[in-house]
Every structure is written in structure tokens, then in C-alpha cells.
A = this chain, B = another copy of it.
């Protein structure tokens, strides 16, 4: 059981839509669509991926981190350190 387990179906649906959007960008490149229109589409997919990340972070904090904190302050602290590193990677990407 992880933070996202309850919403697995929702995440799978969003990821499959993102996969389709990436395939759509390949098609645009293949059909010589104008660069700027491709860039707009790449920005849209990037945003959709970031929304998935933000959702996963929230679910992780709300389950894994809260549960660990309720076990012991030390367990909470360790999970927080790990989550903070993942958040840093997101902010910097």
C-alpha cells in the first residue's frame, strides 16, 4: 500500500493520456508541423507530467509521511528527508 494506491486507476488514466500526447508529438514531428506548435504541445505534456508529480507528492506526504510521523518522530524525520529530496528534484526539473 502506497500513498497513491487509492487513486491508481486515475493515475493510470492520466499516464496513458500523456503517453498518447507524446505519440502525438512524434506524429507532429513526422508530419513537419511548425516548430512553435510542437513546442506548445511539449509544454502541455510537461505540465501534465508535473501535475502527476504534484499529485504523487501530496499522496505520499498524506500517507507514508503522516503514517511514519505517527509511529515515531524519528521515522517521520527520515521520511521527510527523503520526500524533500524528491521535491527538490521536481522543483529543479
A interface residues (Cβ-Cβ under 8 A, vs B): 1-5, 8, 11-12, 15-16, 18-19, 22-23, 25-26, 29-30, 32-36, 38-40, 42-43, 45-47, 49-50, 52-54, 56-62, 64-66, 69-70, 73, 76-77, 80-84, 86-93
Across-interface contacts of A1 in B (CB, < 8 A): 32
- Complex contact A36–B60 (CB within 8 A): yes
Between A and B, 19 residue pairs with Cβ closer than 8 Å are: A3-B35, A4-B38, A12-B29, A12-B30, A15-B26, A35-B60, A38-B56, A39-B89, A40-B86, A43-B90, A49-B49, A58-B84, A61-B84, A62-B77, A62-B84, A66-B73, A66-B80, A69-B69, A69-B76
